[in-house]
Copies of this chain bind each other. A is one copy, B any other.
Amino acid sequence: MKYTELREQALEANLEIVRAGLVVLTFGNASALDRDAGIMAIKPSGVPYDDLSPETMVLIDLETGNTVEGDLRPSSDTPTHLVLYRRFSTIGGVVHTHSPFATAWAQACQPIPCLGTTHADHFYGSVPVSRKLTADEIAGEYEANTGVAIVETHLGLGLDPLQVPAELVWSHGPFTWGPDAATAAENAVALEAVAASTLRACQINPSISSVQPELLDKHFLRKHGANAYYGQVA
């Protein structure tokens, strides 16, 4: 079995989103990319999380979308993952969930404003909602078009994918990503925490608006910029 580490990264991200309470039933999937090899490992479709192992991860060719190894069908969201990897050249992991609060924002078709430092630690500004798909896009290559809408929305807003590593799909749920699958999963956890506290903050103070820009800069850049000083030295 090749790509053992890649399979394990994909498996671990799939298990992490379950442990973190982000997944109900089988509403969730995570993938990991080996960009040099052009191979993605992703969860099989509709398989209970308890039955997952490195061996059940499906290997997909990034360019062709064909299955390279694996007897199971890959996640039905596979084409969305592939589009994200092809168009966002700096990312190495993608996670999709229907986590309770982030899904509520997605299905309310509202971006999550940045109200504080929890958000600023992970997302450099509002988390946007992707544009609505057309009837033709839904009837056609629906899952791939979901990825196209994410990319177009993100780039249309001038966002760097690693600075805002999340988007809410219109009437659907959140996608997050990162330089690797573990970070994509961490961003899914952070997004859910932010989605919950932001809803509650808006209920406490309906006139609250975005955090002061200096605080957004400070928190994002102390963790992610060239001068980051959070955590241990790598």
Which residues of A approach B to under 8 Å, CB–CB? 24-25, 27, 44-47, 72-73, 76, 98, 100-101, 103-110, 115-118, 121, 132-133, 135, 138-139, 142, 171-173, 186, 189-190, 193, 196-205, 208, 211-212, 214-215, 218, 222, 229-233
Contacts and interface: CB of A to CB of B under 8 A. Distances in A.
5 closest cross-chain pairs (CB), A and B? A46-B231, A104-B200, A107-B116, A108-B205, A108-B204
Contacts of A100: 193, 196-197, 200
Contacts of A214: 133, 135, 138-139
A204 B110 contact: yes
A229 B143 CA distance: 12
A132 B215 CA distance: 10
Contact of A25 (B24, B190, B204): B190
Number of copies of this kind of chain in the complex: 4
Contacts of A132: 212
Nearest to A27: B118
Nearest to A121: B27
A49 to B, nearest CB: 13
B218 A173 contact: no
B171 A215 contact: yes
B98 A205 contact: no
B72 A116 contact: no
Contacts of A104: 196-198, 200-201, 203-204
A181 B155 CA distance: 46
Contacts of A201: 104-105, 107-108
9 contacts: A27-B193, A73-B231, A103-B197, A107-B198, A116-B171, A116-B172, A118-B173, A139-B214, A199-B203
